[in-house]
Amino acid sequence: MAQYFTETRNCELSTLYYLETQLASAWSGVTLVKSFNKAYAKDVSLPVVAVALEDISTERREIGTTAINNLYTIAIDIFATSDGMRLDLVDFIINQLKDGWTYYIYSHPSGSNATLDKTADGKIRVNSFVENTRVEISEYSQDVKDRYRHTIVIEIRK
Amino acid sequence: MAEFEFTINKGKDTIEEFIQKLRLREDEFEQELKIATKDAALYMRNYINRRKKRKGEREQGERGLGEALSKRMTVERYGDRISVGFGEIAYLKIHHSYWRVLNDGGMIAPRTMGFFGNRQAPSGRQRNQVFHYNPKGLNKDGTPYGKGTSFLLYPKKPARPIRYISATRRYLSSRVNKLVKQLTTRFK
């Protein structure tokens, strides 16, 4: 029997899949990784975009029911090779996010952990753009990956 | 700097009438906002304390960055705008110079001075530690490691971002939205 993923994991994986596809179609050589630390791996070269689901806020959908609404906070860290590239990547990503993207239900097919199946099931929308700011930590870091950094934080819902 | 938008009930008031009515409630709004900001400061302090890796208390002064930020909050009015701020850059630079790295993460410089909250440095050989701490050496002030107030640290991997600024912004924005709804629904 196939093992289906929860909504939280589906949201994260759907966002990763969407950004990976969009970046691959318009940019060359941009690596997308799933966690912040992986962006610093020696075998990952710039430019890098790191995407991770950071927080979940849960609230009642309406009074009188037990249904809940989840808001997911997604952090997108951009590590560019120049200031111009940083700004271009930010604009590109924001433009891709504004209209929403497909929500997929992911599952492991029976007997296999190596591959993932996915089925489209609605849409993910951006509830709010929380932060869109340059990260300036040159006084602490001399690492080449920290030189042209930018962070976008968004809140999404299914 | 936070900006607040108000919802207008179509067909009920003209924009001028609506603004006029809101003006009468400016002070009430500001008072409520101050309460929300105090709550946000507390939220930020707890958020940092829950997520920081090296828990513990410093023996002197305030207990860490969370307290330093929450004790220095301001709500100021500039004409039609209300500005909300946490922390004071000059104070942070001296006492909590790592505030930016804690928020944004990153691979900090080859060697850096840092604190372990309770002055008990964990072994740098532990796999889960970001820093390697050299037990044979002197601090910047000439005292042996472990005896002074800070340690010379060698980062082994990037520090993960805590993102306490965006978390507090989300919290405050949600409180302000509720507040604006409460104030504007009375005009229906």
Q: What's the pTM? A: 0.77
Q: With an 8 Å Cβ cutoff, is A40 touching chain B?
A: yes
Range of the domain at B132: 107-158
Residues B71 and B95 in one domain: yes
Whole-angstrom distance, CA of residue B107 vs CA of residue A37: 9
Contact call for A142 and B110, based on CB within 8 A: yes
ipTM score for this prediction: 0.81
Partner residue facing B104 (CB), from A128, A130, A151: A151
Q: Which two tokens stand for residue B164?
A: 């306490």
For A144, name the nearest residue in chain B, comparing CA atoms only: B107
First to last CA, chain A: 25
Q: Supply the pLDDT for residue A105.
A: 93
CATH assignment of the domain containing A21 = 3.30.2000.30
How many whole angstroms from its chain centre is CA B175? 16
Kind of pairing, strands B81-86 and A117-135? unpaired
Partner residue facing A145 (CB), from B98, B107, B165: B107
Residues B82 and B95 in one domain: yes
Interface of B with A (CB under 8 A): 98, 100-101, 104-110, 112, 157-158, 160-161, 163, 165-167, 169-170, 173
Residues B16 and B74 in one domain: yes
pLDDT-wise least confident of A63-67, B137-141, B158-162: B137-141
Are the C-beta atoms of residues B158 and A36 closer than 8 Å to each other? yes
Residues B120 and B93 in one domain: no
Q: What is the mean pLDDT of chain B?
A: 71
Residues B3 and B77 in one domain: yes
A151: which chain B residues are within 8 Å (Cβ-Cβ)? Answer: 104, 161, 163
CA distance B73 to chain A (A): 20
Name the band, by pLDDT with cuts 50, 70 and 90, for residue A101: very high
Q: Comparing C-alpha atoms, which of A8, A103, A18 is closest to residue A53?
A: A8
> Is the predicted pLDDT of residue B26 greater than 90, yes or no?
no
B109: which chain A residues are within 8 Å (Cβ-Cβ)? Answer: 140-142
How many whole angstroms from its chain centre is CA A135? 18
A137: which chain B residues are within 8 Å (Cβ-Cβ)? Answer: 100-101, 104, 106, 108
Q: Supply the pLDDT for residue B1.
A: 36
Name the band, by pLDDT with cuts 50, 70 and 90, for residue A16: very high
Are the C-beta atoms of residues A120 and A97 closer than 8 Å to each other? no
Partner residue facing B108 (CB), from A141, A151, A153: A141
> Is the predicted pLDDT of residue B177 greater than 70, yes or no?
yes
Contact call for B106 and A155, based on CB within 8 A: no
Q: Supply the pLDDT for residue A155.
A: 93
Q: Supply the pLDDT for residue B114.
A: 59
Domains held by chain A: number: 1
Q: Supply the pLDDT for residue A11.
A: 93
Q: Supply the pLDDT for residue B182.
A: 75
| pLDDT per residue as tens digits for the range B66-95 | 778 878 888 887 777 778 888 888 888 777
Residue with tokens 């330093």: B68
> Is the predicted pLDDT of residue A89 greater than 60, yes or no?
yes
Contact call for A135 and B104, based on CB within 8 A: yes
For range A122-140, the mean pLDDT: 88
DSSP assigned state of B171: H
| pLDDT per residue as tens digits for the range A35-86 | 888 998 889 898 999 999 988 988 887 777 888 889 999 999 999 999 999 9
Of the two residues B136 and A126, the one the predictor is more confident about is: A126
CA distance A1 to chain B (A): 36
CA distance A97 to chain B (A): 18
Domains held by chain B: number: 2
Residues B118 and B55 in one domain: no
Residues B92 and B166 in one domain: yes
Partner residue facing B112 (CB), from A77, A128, A140: A140
Whole-angstrom distance, CA of residue B177 vs CA of residue B84: 15
C-alpha distances in Å from residue A153, one per residue of A22, A90, B139:
18, 11, 38
| pLDDT per residue as tens digits for the range A112-126 | 677 888 899 999 999
Q: Comparing C-alpha atoms, which of B177, B185, B186, B187 is closest to residue B2?
A: B177
Contact call for B170 and A75, based on CB within 8 A: no
Q: With an 8 Å Cβ cutoff, is A131 touching chain B?
A: yes
Range of the domain at A89: 3-157
Residues B140 and B184 in one domain: no
Helix intervals (H) in chain B: 15-24, 26-51, 64-71, 89-95, 99-104, 164-185
**Which contacts of A64-69 are long-range, i.e. CB under 8 A and separated by 24 or more positions?**
A69/A157
Residue with tokens 């532990």: B126
Residues B21 and B94 in one domain: yes
Residues B91 and B131 in one domain: no
Name the band, by pLDDT with cuts 50, 70 and 90, for residue B159: confident
Residues B78 and B171 in one domain: yes
Whole-angstrom distance, CA of residue A137 vs CA of residue B185: 44
Whole-angstrom distance, CA of residue A105 vs CA of residue A10: 6
Residues B59 and B137 in one domain: no
Whole-angstrom distance, CA of residue B87 vs CA of residue B106: 21
Q: Which two tokens stand for residue B137?
A: 């050496």
Q: What's the half-sphere exposure (Cβ side, CA atoms, 13 Å) at B106?
A: 29
Of the two residues B135 and A105, the one the predictor is more confident about is: A105
Rg (C-alpha) for chain B, rounded Å, is 22
